[in-house]
Amino acid sequence: MGGVVPLTLITGASRGIGAATARLLAAQGHDLVLNYARDRATAEALADELRADGQRRVWCIQADVANEAQVLAMFARIDAEAAGRLSGLVNNAGIVAPAARLEAMDMARWQHLFGVNVMGTLLCCREAARRMSTRHGGAGGAIVNLSSRAAQLGSPGVYVDYAASKGAIDSLTVGLARELIEEGIRVNGVRPGIIATEIHADSGTAGALAAAAAGIPIRRLGRAEEVAEAIAWLLSEAASYTVGAVLDVSGGR
């Protein structure tokens, strides 16, 4: 980064992989924008933790990434308060719905799921590109999109709609990487496997995790910190020749 302190926006940063990534990036010298949708108290507590050493600047900004007006307002605040120096974006915000077969799902579920997982990523990528691209006067940067091994395995009988939404993220990552690389922006992705985070409670599958771990070649669930390491590497100059890659962090699954 040439001595310039990187500024990275992490969506869905208040818990799980987002929070683990925030802690790791702060330790590596990033200033941070922590986005959250609803849980202000948890997000603010994380921000206070990261500010404690007095070295990091951390902003906490509420925005539902599926809402264009809220995303625009979030980026406008970054422009106003951080001098428009955004250099990194981690599209981590994502949701699941209760486990179900496709014929039991309704349109409202799909609109909500794809709104957050796909439209939210598209919106944040667009706004980041408008700021980071050398075509628009930016200094370049890096984007990391969070996919899932479900994109390739399909999650039959659990949530094929979630898997489909993450398949869209895989396609976006490859295409956008090729679109933006000549403008100084590297785009890559990470596909976590079954990670021990709170998201499993949202789908009602937390009780099946022990059995799921037995089917993973490494014989355990992943940790959010292990996914954060892959994200941080892709954002770093160490990954300067890595473009359009989607890294599996899945214990061999």
For the annotated catalytic residues, the residue numbers are: 162
Strands 141-146, 246-249: parallel, antiparallel or unpaired by DSSP? unpaired
The Cα–Cα gap between 16 and 48 comes to 17
Phi-psi region of 29 (alpha: psi -120 to 50; beta: other; left: phi over 0): left
Task: Decide if 234 contacts 144 (C-beta within 8 A).
Answer: yes
Torsion angle, CA of 42/45/51/56, rounded to 10 degrees? 0
The Cα–Cα gap between 65 and 74 comes to 9
The Cα–Cα gap between 21 and 34 comes to 10
> Which residues, including other chains, have CB under 8 Å from residue 176's CB and lie 6 or more apart?
125, 129, 143, 187
Q: Give the H/E segment covering residue 189.
A: strand 185-192
> Which residues, including other chains, have CB under 8 Å from residue 40's CB and lie 6 or more apart?
60, 62
